[in-house]
Chain A
C-alpha cells in the first residue's frame, strides 16, 4: 500500500492528524443512555421493565404522600378533607413525638443535653480534630453524669420521673446510653476473649455467645421480669434503667465481636514489638494494639450502633414509649383513629434519616481504610 491508494483528499504529515470528535452515539446523553440503559437486548428489556415498575409504584405514592395530602393544622381527622395522607396528625402531635410527656417548661433541659452531646461527640468522628483524647474522656465520663442530672433532675432542678420520658428523646437516650456503655464493656470482653488466662477467656466467651444466641426481646424480658427476682426483696429498679442495662449488655456482646475482629487483624509483630519494648499487658493494649485495632473496627462499630439504634424500638414490649411507641399511641387516639400508615411512614422517615447518615459515615470510613484492588 502506498500513499496513492488513500482516498482522503487532504494529506497530513505523519503524527499531525487533527483530533476527530468521537462518534455522536458514544458521548453525551445518548452515549450515556446507550452504555447504561440499552447496551444489549437484555438490558433494554430490563430498563423497560424497571420503568414500568416505577410507573406502577411511584405516582400513587407521590400522589398519596404529597400532591393530595393534607398539610393543614387541625385537631382531629375530620379536618383532613383531601383523599391523600393526613399529615395534620403529625403536625398536631409533633412535639409529643419528640419529647414524649416530658413537661413543657422543662424541655430546655433536654435540648441542652443533646446540644452538649452534639457539640462534643460529632468532632470525635471527624479526622484532624485536635485533643480528641480529652473530648472522648468528656463524652464517655463526664457527659453521662451531666446528662443524668439534666434529664432526671436533682442539683436544684425539679425531678422528672422516667415514666414521662418518651418519643424521639427516649430513642436517642437509649441509643446513646447503649453505645457509651456497650463500647467499653465490649472492648473488655474482646480482650477477655483473646486473653491467655483460661478462666477469664471462658467467662468472656460464655457471656458473648450466650447473649448473641438469644433475641434481644428475651434479654429485655429477662431484665424486666427476672432482674427484680435477682435483687433482694424490697429493692426496686427503674423500668427504664432495666431496659438500659439490657440494651447495653446486649450491645456489648456484639461490640466485643467487632473489636475482636480488629484485634485479630493486628499482625503478630505488633504484639511482639510492644513486648520487646518491655511494655506490660495494659500498656501494650492501651498504647499499641487498641488504638490500631479500634481504628480499623470503626466501620463495624458504627454498623453495630445502627443495629442498636434500630433495636431500641423493642422497648415497646416492656411498656416504654420511645418514638415508635408514641406514634402508635397517637394512632390509637379516637381523634386520629385509622391513621396508622401516616404515623409509621413518619417514624420510618425519622429512623431512616438517623440510620442512613450513620451508614454513609461508615461507608466513607470503609472506603478510606480499604485500599486493596476492587472489582470494577
Chain B
C-alpha cells in the first residue's frame, strides 16, 4: 500500500517540464511573445517614419496613364489612378485566364494524341515556355518582337481589317445602331433556354432512360437565337474601320503593344503549365475506366465526355486554381514594360510621388490577397461540385 501511494505521489511530482501539455503551453507563450514583439517593433519603428494616413487618395494625381478603360485625366485623384490600375490588372488577367485555359486544354490534348509529330510539337511548346522565366518572355515579346515590327506606314495588314505595327494593333471597333440591344437579349434568352433544356433532358433521362440531344440543340439555341434576331433587325451593327491617315491610324480601336506583349506572354506561359496539368489529369484516370466504359457499349466520344473528363476534372481543378492565381499575380510583371497595371501605377508612380510607402504597399498586397481569395473561393466551390462523392 505504502509503495503504491509512494509511486502515485512520484508520478504527480514528476517535473512539469516533461508534461507534453505544459510544454505545449510554454512553447506557445514563447512563440506568441516572439511574434507579438516582432509585430510591435515593426509598428513602433514604422510609426516613427509615417507621415499621414490615407488622405493622399483625394489629392490630384497629376500624371497621365496611357491605357485606361475608365475615365481618367491628369486632374483626377490618386484614388482614381488606383482604380484605373486595378481595372487594367483585372482586364489583362481575365483575358489571360480565358486564353490560357483554351490554349492549355488544346495543347494538353495534343500531348495525348496518337500522332507522333503533334505530340513532339506540343512537347517543344510546353518545355520551351515552362523553362524560361516569364519576365524574359514578356521583355522578349515587347522589345524583341513587337518593337521590331514595321512602323505605321508599313503596317502588316491582315485582310485589310487588322493592322499590326510597332505602335500596337489597330482593329475595327463595333458601333451598335438602333435596335442592337435585341441581339444581346436574344443571346441571354438562348443561354437560359439551353440551360433549362439541358436540365429538363437530364431529369427526363434519369426518370425514363430516354436520351435527348440537349447539347446540340442547346448550341443551336445559343447561336441561332441571336442570329435570327440579327437577321430580323437587319444587322444593326457597323464597324469603324482603322484608316491610315498621315502618320497614324484614325478610327477603329487601338490595342497598346504593352498590352499585347503582356497578354501574349502571360497566356502562353500559363497555357504551358495548364497543358501539363490537363495531360497529367487525363493520364491519372486509369485505363480500366476506358475499357470498362467501352465494354458497357459506350461510344468513344461518350466515354471521354461521361467517364474520363469528370474523373480527370477532379485532378485538374486544384492545380488549375493555383495557375489562375499565378497568372493574376504574374500580371504585376507589367511594371517592367510599362503597362499601367496596379503595381506599375500604384506601387510605382503613386508611391514615388507621395512617398507613402507603407500604405501603398499594404493596399497593393491587400488587393492581390482579395483577388486570390475570391478566385480560391470560386474554384473551391467548383471543386466541391466535381469532387468524388464518397459515402
Q: What residues make up the interface of A, taking CB atoms closer than 8 Å to B?
A: 36-37, 39, 43, 46-47, 50-51, 53-54, 196-200, 203, 210, 212-218, 221-222, 225-226, 229-233, 306, 310-314, 316-317, 324, 328, 331, 338, 340-341, 344-345, 347-348, 351-352, 355-356, 359, 373-376
Contact = CB atoms under 8 A, between A and B. Distances in A.
Contacts of B145: 341
A47 B139 contact: no
B115 A50 contact: yes
B139 A344 contact: yes
Interface stretch (B78-86, B124-132, B179-187, B236-244): B124-132
A297 B365 CA distance: 29
Contacts of A338: 148
Contact of B287 (A51, A222, A352, A375): A375
B223 interface: no
Contacts of A200: 27-28, 31
Interface string B352-372: 000001100100110011001
B144 interface: yes
Nearest to B28: A199
B246 to A, nearest CB: 26
Contact of A359 (B121, B131, B364): B131
Nearest to B284: A375
B121 A344 contact: no
B75 interface: no
Contacts of B130: 355, 359
B111 to A, nearest CB: 12
Given A210-B369, A214-B368, A351-B136, 20 more contacts: A43-B114, A197-B28, A199-B28, A200-B28, A203-B31, A203-B35, A214-B365, A218-B368, A222-B365, A225-B361, A314-B333, A324-B135, A331-B143, A340-B147, A344-B144, A345-B144, A348-B140, A373-B288, A374-B287, A375-B286
Interface stretch (B41-49, B299-307, B382-390): B41-49
24 contacts: A36-B114, A43-B113, A50-B115, A50-B118, A51-B117, A197-B31, A199-B28, A200-B28, A203-B31, A213-B373, A215-B329, A217-B335, A218-B347, A218-B361, A222-B361, A225-B357, A226-B357, A230-B41, A310-B133, A310-B134, A316-B336, A347-B136, A351-B132, A375-B284
Most interface-central of A197, A215, A328, A340 (chain B CB within 10 A): A215
Interface of B: 24, 27-28, 31-32, 35, 41-42, 45-46, 48-49, 113-118, 121, 127-128, 130-137, 139-140, 143-145, 147-148, 282-288, 290, 325, 329-330, 332-333, 335-336, 343, 347, 351, 357-358, 361, 364-365, 368-369, 372-373
Contacts of B285: 375
The 6 closest A-B pairs by CB, nearest first: A355-B131, A36-B116, A215-B329, A310-B133, A341-B144, A213-B372
A375 B282 contact: yes
B45 A230 contact: yes
Contacts of A345: 140, 144
A99 B276 CA distance: 35
A27 to B, nearest CB: 16
Given A197-B27, A340-B143, A344-B140, A218 B115 contact: no
A340 B27 CA distance: 55
A352 B128 contact: yes
A342 B180 CA distance: 49
B148 A341 contact: yes
Contacts of A232: 45
Most interface-central of B127, B136, B148 (chain A CB within 10 A): B136
A215 B361 contact: no
A226 B343 CA distance: 15
B359 to A, nearest CB: 11
A50 B364 contact: no
A317 B117 contact: no
A47 B117 contact: yes
Nearest to A219: B365
B357 to A, nearest CB: 4
Contact of B131 (A213, A306, A374): A306
